[in-house]
Amino acid sequence: MEKEQTIIYFVRHGDTSRVYSLDQQEDDLRVLSDIGKVQAEKTGLYLKNYEPAAIYSSPRKRCVQTAEIIKKTAEIPENIETDKRVDEDYNLFTDDEMRKRFMELCGEIVDKYKGKQVVIVSHMFYFWLFSSHNDFFEPCSVIRLVFANDKLAHNSFLYPAKD
């Protein structure tokens, strides 16, 4: 049986105009800075080469803004679908719970878009699921997740917005 690859490009939102806050109302005030908008555009130009079929986003404003720029620049045909499973953590869930939520969404995406490429825009916490909590990932960093049928086969880190 031949394995069919589905690739998910997991993107951290662009640079913001404010610092992170555990207070959700305060954190909701974070929007993309001018630098963040340029980062999102560079990331969209990079992703355009792979013709993503769809784009998902955390419902937080900074993620939706990043997704909107990537969608336009990469010419993604589907509307942006927001999903709380890739929302900011605010220390509400354990790492295992976050991993389960994330992989559940990835499974749904792989089922729906088998053999295609999809973008998810979210937050740095999810990058730590694939690395160390000590690592820092630049805004608009990307993790390329390769699924062979429904199994995660490979992941790699990309930095298309870095000069």
155 three-state secondary structure: strand
Confirm whether 110 is domain-assigned: yes
Rounded to whole angstroms, how far apart are CA atoms 14 and 16?
A: 6
Confirm whether 143 is domain-assigned: yes
**Cα dihedral sign, 100-101-102-106:** positive
| Domain carrying residue 78 | 5-117+126-158
Q: And the tokens for 104?
A: 């559940």
Q: What is the DSSP letter of 71?
A: H
Share of residues in the chain with pLDDT > 70 (%): 88
The 10s digit of each residue's pLDDT in 108-143 is 999 999 999 999 999 888 877 777 655 667 888 999
Confirm whether 163 is domain-assigned: no
Confirm whether 20 is domain-assigned: yes
- What integer pLDDT is reported at residue 90 of this predicted model? 64
Q: The CATH number of the domain where 89 resides is what? A: 3.40.50.1240
Confirm whether 40 is domain-assigned: yes
Rounded to whole angstroms, how far apart are CA atoms 141 and 119?
A: 12
- Give the C-alpha distances (Å, rounded to integers) separating 156 from 28, 75, 130, 134: 30, 23, 9, 17
Is the pLDDT score of 1 beyond 60? no
Provide the domain count of the chain: 1
Contact 66, 32 (CB under 8 A): yes
